[in-house]
Amino acid sequence: MSYWDTSCLVKLYVTETDSAQFDAYALTTSQMVTSEIARFEMWTTLRRKEAEGQIAPGAARALFQLFKDDVTNGEIILIPTDGAVKTAFDAIIDHCHGHLPPLPIRTLDSIHLAAARVAHESEIVTADKRLRDAAIFEGFSVFPPP
């Protein structure tokens, strides 16, 4: 299993220039793990893509249903943002901002890393440069590799 950031999960449902790479990688794992915040990020991203004309009218709802079906079927595991995630989140924020120079990290990226840590994942799948940098700083391996 690997921890998947929402930016890469979206690529499994919406064809983007690098979707094939992530589709192929998804086939190498039986389950993908992500934070429960991915549910909110996924819906927001799909609706934005629909509003911008990147996907057909009505596609956001249908694609979001496919995502929810994958969660229900256990193909995607959502990690709840509970006390363990909060504790890991606090440690990640302290580590990143305690470094000289401080490593800038966004709130949602910190939640993703904390959820990955709680899930005992060692790899973060992300296409987001800032999350990749923070993941490497926190000791995770990343896909695609740098």
User: Three-state DSSP class for 125?
Assistant: strand
The torsion defined by the Cα of 22, 25, 29 and 34, in degrees rounded to 10, comes to -30
Model pLDDT for residues 91-141, shown as the tens digit of each residue: 999 999 999 999 999 999 999 999 999 999 999 999 999 999 999 999 999
Model pLDDT for residues 49-75, shown as the tens digit of each residue: 999 999 999 999 999 999 999 999 999
Between 48 and 29, the more confident residue is 48
Percent of the chain predicted with pLDDT > 70: 100
- What domains sit in the chain, N to C, each tagged with a CATH number? 2-143 (3.40.50.1010)
Q: What sign does the CA torsion over 53, 13, 144, 88 have? A: positive
Which residue in 50, 46, 84 sits closest to 66, CA to CA? 46
**Residue type present at position 56:** A
Which residue in 82, 86, 50, 83 sits closest to 10, CA to CA? 50
Q: What is the CA radius of gyration of the chain?
A: 15
Residue 1 has pLDDT above 80, yes or no: no
Number of H helices, E strands in the chain: 7, 5
Cis? peptide before 102, omega within 30° of 0? no
For residue 55, which phi and psi values (nearest 5 degrees)? -130, 160
Residues 6+ apart with CB under 8 A from 101: none
**Angle between the 83-98 and 107-118 helix axes, to the nearest 10 degrees?**
120
